Structure 1
Amino acid sequence: MLFHVRMDVKLPRDLSAEEAVEILAREKAYSQDLQKSGKWRHIWRIAGQYANVSIFDVTDNAELHEILSGLPLFKFMDIEVMPLVRHPSAVRGDDS
């Protein structure tokens, strides 16, 4: 199943520089592993915001929830999820 996910990050002002560096490194490694596995299909930064739009390709809602709640930055995020279904007017049978 494909999901469109918007993630807005709101780091707390009192987060120390050391904590921020550590959590951001874990977030990058986690997300890149998921991208390499094909679960996190696409990621785009939203210009001018600490936010991204991503496409996930997972088995079901439960798997997506597990992945998102495992994000090191999860507790600092507002997340919006939209399930996707291929449009009948699409000229391609895949997302190329």
Structure 2
Amino acid sequence: MLFHVRMDVNIPADMPADVANEIKSREKAYSQELQRSGKWRHIWRIAGEYANFSVFDVESNAELHDILIALPLFPYMKISVTPLCRHPSSVRDNDA
């Protein structure tokens, strides 16, 4: 199942820099692990914002939920999820 996910990050301004950096380091390692596994297929920064658009390829809504709540930055995120399916006009056969 494919999902388009927007993640907007809002780290509190009063969070100590060393704490924020440690959380971001764990976030990067976790997200790269998911990218290598194929579950996090795409990640795109939204220019001018601390936000991204991502595409996940997972087995279920529950798996996506578990992945998202395990993100180290999850407590500081607003997340919106849109399920995706292949468009019949697509010229690519490997979109599924």
Which TM bucket (shorter chain)?
over 0.9
Structure 1 gap ranges (5+): none
Structure 2 gap ranges (5+): none
Give the Cα separation in 2 of the matches to 1:59 and 1:16: 37
What letter corresponds to residue 18 of structure 2 in structure 1?
A: E
TM-score (norm 2): 0.97
Q: How does 1:14-29 map onto structure 2 within 5 Å?
A: 14-29=14-29
Give the Cα separation in 1 of the matches to 2:12 and 2:22: 14
Equivalent pairs, count: 95
What letter corresponds to residue 20 of structure 1 in structure 2?
A: A
TM-score (norm 1): 0.97
Identity %: 69
Give the Cα separation in 2 of the matches to 1:29 and 1:62: 22
CA shift, 1:93, in A, is 1.5
Q: How does 1:1-96 map onto structure 2 within 5 Å?
A: 1-95=1-95
Q: Deviation above 4 Å: which 4+ runs of structure 1?
A: none
